[in-house]
Structure 1
Amino acid sequence: MPELPDVEGFRGVMQRCAGGRRVDGVEVRDAGVLRGVTARRLCRELQGRRFAQPWRHGKWLVTPSDGPALVWHFGMTGELLCAAPDDAVEAHDRLLITLDGGRQLRYRDRRKLQGVRLAADEAAVERILADLGPDARGLDLSRFLRLLSGRRGGIKSALTDQSLLAGLGNLLADEILWRARVRPDRSVRGLDDDELRRVHAAMGRVLRSSVRAGRVPARRGWLTGRRDDAEPVCPRCGRPLASGRTAGRRTVWCEHCQR
């Protein structure tokens, strides 16, 4: 699933491919990726518009223009690509936006669980994003502690709750908690200040590295690089990794390192 680093990578694709460019054509190959807008209206509203600089909040990407804005959520399998108009179109390329200068922006999505919205103005963008918490990237320690103060439930559930903290998904949460040596099912209220500081510090390190890579890297020194092995072991201590369900998602952790 695309998480904050992936969407930051898509923001870069959008900026390089479409920033400052005029829309010369829109082809909706599958309206199943549109949310709250018809294919006809999307084509009509975007035609001739010039894109401004895109920005991201959590797992959402916003592309303003000199008219409406596109608001993207990539669900489980969505991605943005920059192509030439004569490049072969893949089966899962759902939306093609042709730009002046000969570039084409493509939204590719196999499962179509989320998709593309059209926001008439800044107020409409704000309404779409209204239920999100602050972006996880660059969140300072004091605000992080305030967000978790009095929080019920487990720490992984808190980290992946987009209304509390926007941008973290399953892979990031597991990686952060493994680095902080905190079990994912620990109660937030049961964590002391030192443990919460470790979680915050690990979040910053993981996000910095992941944003540079454009994804959560599957490095062998990371939990992410081991979790899908046939017999996964902890990159730190070499003991077998545990796997279960936490916050409704498959969760991987080390029983030895994360007590």
Structure 2
Amino acid sequence: MPELPEMENYRQLLSSLIVNRLITGTEVTRAKSINVEPDRFDRLLRGQTVRSMGRRAKHLLFHMASGDTLVLHLMLGGVMFYGTMEEKPDRTVQVRISYGDFHLFFIGLRLGYLHVVEPGQLQTMMAKLGPEPFDPSLDQQRFGELLGGRRGTLKSCLVDQGFISGIGNCYSDEICFDAGLQPGRAPRSLSMDERQRLFDSMRRVLSVATDEGGYMDMPLYAGDMLTGGYDKQCRVYDREGQPCVRCGATIVRADVSSKKSFCCIQCQH
């Protein structure tokens, strides 16, 4: 499932591709992927422009000149592609937004969605989300205080969108590895030093992953050399049976809080 780095990469790239470009039409082949009737969806978007691109947690926000916002959550298996009909990947498209000869294709929205949200509703929709990892008000001390009061495991804590927003299975494991902590550790058991290490690792891993284009396996457009660049840099996620890049021990997989998790039991404590 796309996480903060993947959606932030999309936000940055789409800002230069579609912002202020006139929408000339839409096509919806799966009505359940949107929250209004397809005809109304077309009326709301046709002739409009995206004023700016935003992101909140794992949601991508298309802020329209009309005041509405398109809220995208790709969920598991969702991707996007921008290009001509000839360049479109051989994948099933649930929603298409057209800009003349170019189109933004929303692919794999079987679980994900693209909703039209009216002015004033966006804040309510996002109200239950926790702070962003790079929120200026979230410093090491505040992070440590919040973490110390949590039950469960580091894994369940980091992927809880009500605690910290934007982190999922992949980056929770990568963050724990960077901090030298096993994802099954109880948050309350961490020392102050370990909490600070986890905070620093969270920001470091997410920053590098975003700069490297995240781990998505499909380019956003023909010639896109950035998207997916972090995939080969993952140090533990999906590397079961491979040697640890830090100590050489074997990476293992274990279900932690009912979620698949990867770690090195030799150098993560």
TM-score, length basis structure 1: 0.90
Of 238, 246, 264, 1:254 maps to 264
Contact 2:251 2:262 in 1 (8 A): yes
Shift of 1:84: 2.2
2:98 aligns with 98
Task: Count the aligned residue pairs.
Answer: 252
1:30 aligns with 30
1:168 aligns with 167
Contact 1:30 1:94 in 2 (8 A): yes
Contact 1:58 1:136 in 2 (8 A): no
Shift of 1:86: 4.6
2:114 aligns with 116
* SS of equivalent to 1:250: strand
Measured in 2, the distance between the counterparts of 1:90 and 1:234 equals: 36
Letter in 2 for 1:168: I
For residues 68-217 of structure 1, the aligned pairs below 5 Å read 68-88=68-88, 90-99=90-99, 102-109=101-108, 112-121=110-119, 123-138=120-135, 139-216=138-215, 217=230
Measured in 1, the distance between the counterparts of 2:112 and 2:125 equals: 13
Measured in 2, the distance between the counterparts of 1:22 and 1:167 equals: 30
Shifted more, 90-99 versus 62-71: the winner is: 90-99
Measured in 2, the distance between the counterparts of 1:171 and 1:129 equals: 23
Contact 2:23 2:99 in 1 (8 A): yes
Measured in 1, the distance between the counterparts of 2:39 and 2:124 equals: 23
CA shift in 2, pair 1:89/1:156, >3 Å: closer
Measured in 1, the distance between the counterparts of 2:84 and 2:23 equals: 14
Contact 1:83 1:105 in 2 (8 A): yes
CA shift in 2, pair 1:254/1:88, >3 Å: closer
Letter in 2 for 1:113: L
1:222 aligns with 235
Contact 1:29 1:94 in 2 (8 A): yes
Percentage of identical aligned residues: 29
Letter in 2 for 1:133: G
Deviations 1:97-134 (A, max 9, x none): 1125x43111111x61111111011x211122111111
Which segments of structure 1 move beyond 4 Å, counting only runs of 4 or more?
none
Contact 2:63 2:70 in 1 (8 A): yes
Contact 2:129 2:161 in 1 (8 A): yes
CA shift in 2, pair 1:127/1:90, >3 Å: farther
Measured in 1, the distance between the counterparts of 2:174 and 2:130 equals: 21
- The reply on whether 1:10 has 2:10 as its aligned counterpart is yes
Contact 2:78 2:107 in 1 (8 A): yes
Measured in 2, the distance between the counterparts of 1:140 and 1:15 equals: 29
Measured in 2, the distance between the counterparts of 1:174 and 1:19 equals: 34
Shift of 1:219: 3.4
Shift of 1:221: 7.2
Measured in 2, the distance between the counterparts of 1:41 and 1:108 equals: 21
Shifted more, 160-169 versus 214-223: the winner is: 214-223
Shift of 1:7: 0.5
Letter in 2 for 1:39: P
CA shift in 2, pair 1:150/1:21, >3 Å: same
Measured in 1, the distance between the counterparts of 2:89 and 2:46 equals: 21
Contact 2:239 2:251 in 1 (8 A): no
**RMSD after superposition:** 1.8
* Structure 1 gap segments, 5+ residues each: none
